[in-house]
Amino acid sequence: MSSLTRILRGNLRQYGMVIALVSIVTLFWFTTDGVLLRPLNVTNLITQNSYILILAIGMVLVIVARHIDLSVGSVAAFVGALAAIMMTRYDVPWFLAVVLCLGVGALIGAWHGFWVAYVGIPAFIVTLASMLLFRGLTLVVLQGATVGGLPQGFERMGNGFLPEVGPDTGLHNLTLVLGVLLTAWLVVLEVRKRRSAVHYKLEVLPPALFLAKLVAIAVVVVGLCYVLAQYRGLPVVGLILVVLIGVYGFVMQRTIIGRHVYAVGGNVDAATMSGVRTKRIDFLVMTNMGMLAALAGMVFAARLTAANPKAGVNFELDAIAAAFIGGAAVTGGVGTVAGAIIGGFVMGVLNNGMSLMGVSIDWQQAVKGLVLLAAVAFDVWNKKRTSVGGGAGAEDTSVAPPPPDELTEELEKQRVGGSAARTP
């Protein structure tokens, strides 16, 4: 029991948001008579929050690297408008327009990265200026009007679903197959992670709890896919999100550049002395954010089937809130892609659940503000607890980690030698 308590304390930030999301879903499931988890509503929950979740993935990297990006909403609106203009006025094929606009987004992010990394201007100032700049350019490009008539292929990014395959079972077969494959992949990753931890003599969950964790993963993933399969299956934007989560999760956890982002955010001076090219990391993080903002802008335009001058308003606030609610530290160096996704879903479920209950938009904003404050307060409290107490679980001296084996053997030799010397 003591080891379980120590593990839970050590992962309090990670597990806390999962417990909060499950609690919020359960609450609204009861208060809305089950409407929240009906197939149509779950599908809407994913598509309505997809662009915020895409932004949250990039924003958590920016925050981990101790920066902030206030321009993502304006950049998303500008790139969405640019894509609409390309496709409707200049007949650019939609797939080519998508590639070109991703490049434009990356260039905008590189512009931010240049000023932040190589000139030394705080990201807050640089992106605040860009927020104003690209909001104005959006109005210039669209000339204050909404541009519609987008190609169907482009609109499928925001409103499309995976195709039907296989026999008629009354469910979307492809979604169920993808759910089973995704579950198998996640289970294999968890087993490999546990084996690696055991190999390096790190603390792991007891076998029974580890098995319960695998069962919980399978129930959640397959259950979600089953709910989606009862309507029209997995949305195209849902598949985009799965790919982004997998790629960015791998990059941040398993690659050198991911470790460098955490190193720069944790202590930039130590990272510099360790040989990390901190300016390059800052530049790449801001460039990546610009590219994801472009993707989010095109997904939003595809969902609306038009480019709107008012698109992207407050997107940056929702993305920042999702990252912080998902466990990113305000001082940088801490945060995960999965956490940002959970934080985004917390915000989305709050919006959706309160809308179903008939709560006004005013109170919805107030509740989300309190949730954000509570998440940051929890982060500050958790940081003080671990720094003062010497780390998770260190409050109880009975659960302090044992000394290294080499030190124990050396002390034992000294004790035996001393006893022998005192023996007449």
pLDDT in tens, 381-418: 776 766 654 433 333 444 344 444 444 555 555 555 55
Cα separation, 190 vs 320, whole angstroms: 29
CA neighbours within 13 Å on the CB side: how many for 332? 17
Query: How far from the centroid of its chain's Cα atoms is residue 9's Cα?
Result: 22
- pLDDT for the residue numbered 301: 94
Residue 102 near residue 299, CB atoms below 8 Å: no
Cα separation, 340 vs 358, whole angstroms: 27
Residue 215 clears pLDDT 60, i.e. is over it: yes
| Residue type at 130 in one-letter notation | S
User: Which residue has tokens 């993963």?
Assistant: 217
Mean pLDDT score across all residues of the chain: 85
User: Is 67 or 407 the better-scoring residue by pLDDT?
Assistant: 67
Cα separation, 409 vs 419, whole angstroms: 15
Q: How far is CA 90 from CA 39, 82, 305, 412, in A?
A: 39, 11, 17, 81
Phi, psi of 387 (to 5 degrees): -75, -40
Cα separation, 23 vs 414, whole angstroms: 55
Cα separation, 424 vs 415, whole angstroms: 16
- pLDDT for the residue numbered 376: 75
- pLDDT for the residue numbered 101: 96
Using alpha carbons, select from 71, 60, 62 the residue that is nearest to residue 312. 71
Sequence-ordered list of residues with C-beta below 8 angstroms from that of 121, at least 6 positions apart, any chain:
115
Residue 93 clears pLDDT 90, i.e. is over it: yes
Give the pair of three-digit tokens for residue 229: 């399969």
Phi, psi of 148 (to 5 degrees): -115, -160
6 pLDDT band, cuts 50/70/90, is low
Q: Ranked by mean pLDDT, which of 167-176, 210-219, 233-242, 354-363 comes out on top?
A: 233-242
SS3 call for 248? helix
The stretch 181-189 carries a mean pLDDT of: 92
Task: Give per-residue pLDDT as tens, 325-360.
Answer: 888 888 888 889 988 998 899 888 888 888 888 888
Name the least confident of 214-223, 311-320, 376-385.
376-385
- Give the CA angle between residues 200, 202, 208 to the nearest 5°: 120
Q: How far is CA 311 from CA 100, 102, 142, 305, in A?
A: 20, 18, 11, 12
Query: How far from the centroid of its chain's Cα atoms is residue 14's Cα?
Result: 12
SS3 call for 6? helix
Domain ranges of the chain: 51-160+260-379
Q: How far is CA 95 from CA 102, 152, 159, in A?
A: 11, 11, 16
Cα separation, 85 vs 91, whole angstroms: 9
Using alpha carbons, select from 242, 333, 229, 323 the residue that is nearest to residue 281. 333
Question: What region does 305 belong to: left with phi over 0, alpha with psi -120 to 50, or beta?
Answer: left
Residue 6 near residue 203, CB atoms below 8 Å: yes
- pLDDT for the residue numbered 365: 83
Residue 424 clears pLDDT 50, i.e. is over it: no
- pLDDT for the residue numbered 422: 47
DSSP 267: -
